[in-house]
Amino acid sequence: MMMRMMTMMRVFNIVNVVAALMVVAVLLSIQRVEATNYTVGEAAGWRIPPNGAASTYSDWASNISFQIGDVFVFDFVTGSHDVAVVTQQDYDACSTAAPVDLYSTGPTAYSLDVLGNYYFICTKGSGASHCLSGQKLAITVPSSPISPFPSTSPPTRASATPPPPPKDNEGSPSLAANLSMIIFISMTMSFLGLLS
């Protein structure tokens, strides 16, 4: 009876250790990614760049690694500016003829919900003069920090196919690796528990 009780206690301890290891492995495999709200143009907001500084918005975006779930807040006066989501060709030409989306009420929040390139312009002004004066922004939400997802047009919100899953970050163990480690440790502990 005493031997049976000791065996049960040993099994109970092994189960507790394995459960704890599984919890640790799952926690290690979860990549915590929080969305960030960015005010485009920061304190200046979404407006024609001062002093003809056409690179104002691209300079602002160049030091930021955008991720799925990030939100752009375009802070502008309704009626004076707007935000059009456009293709790369329309972005390059400052064409306002066929925006993918158009937001006329400020401030406007726009969620980066798929991987790819995003192109934003202001359609206001005679002949799209706001865009031609530098009120435009192009950014990329990459599939990984190293290789951006190639695209020449902005992602659409009504996409029938979901975006591909992001690749594992370097240094982060994959779920498969964690599960393999759990199985190995469980089997080793079970084997050792039976021998002692």
d(CA 72, CA 166): 21
What is the per-residue pLDDT for 150? 44
Phi, then psi, of 32 in degrees rounded to 5 = -80, 120
CATH number given to 37-141: 2.60.40.420
Q: Which residue has the higher pLDDT, 49 or 178?
A: 49
The 10 Å CB-count burial string (b at 16+, else e) for 171-190 is eeeeeeebeebbeeebeebe
Highest mean pLDDT among 39-53, 58-72, 84-98, 137-151: 84-98
Is residue 77 within 8 Å of residue 59, measured between CB atoms? no
Amino acid (one-letter) located at 16: N
Determine the pLDDT at residue 128. 86
Strands (E), 54-122: 71-74, 83-85, 101-103, 108-111, 116-121
Of 155, 159, 39, the C-alpha closest to 88 is 155
Stronger pLDDT, 157 or 180, i.e. the higher one: 180
Beta-strand relationship, 37-39 and 71-74? parallel
Q: What is the mean pLDDT of residues 55-81?
A: 92
* Residue matched to tokens 């779920």: 175
Q: Is the pLDDT higher at 77 or at 153?
A: 77
Q: What is the mean pLDDT of residues 38-47?
A: 92
pLDDT at 91 over 90: yes
* 186 vs 157, higher pLDDT: 186
Look at residue 148 in the predicted model and tell me its pLDDT: 41
pLDDT of residue 2: 65
Quote the pLDDT of residue 98: 94
Whether the ω angle into residue 148 lies within 30 degrees of 0, i.e. cis, is no
Residue 47 has pLDDT above 90, yes or no: yes
Which residue's entry shows tokens 């030091």? 63
pLDDT at 162 over 50: no
For residue 103, give the 3-state DSSP assignment.
strand
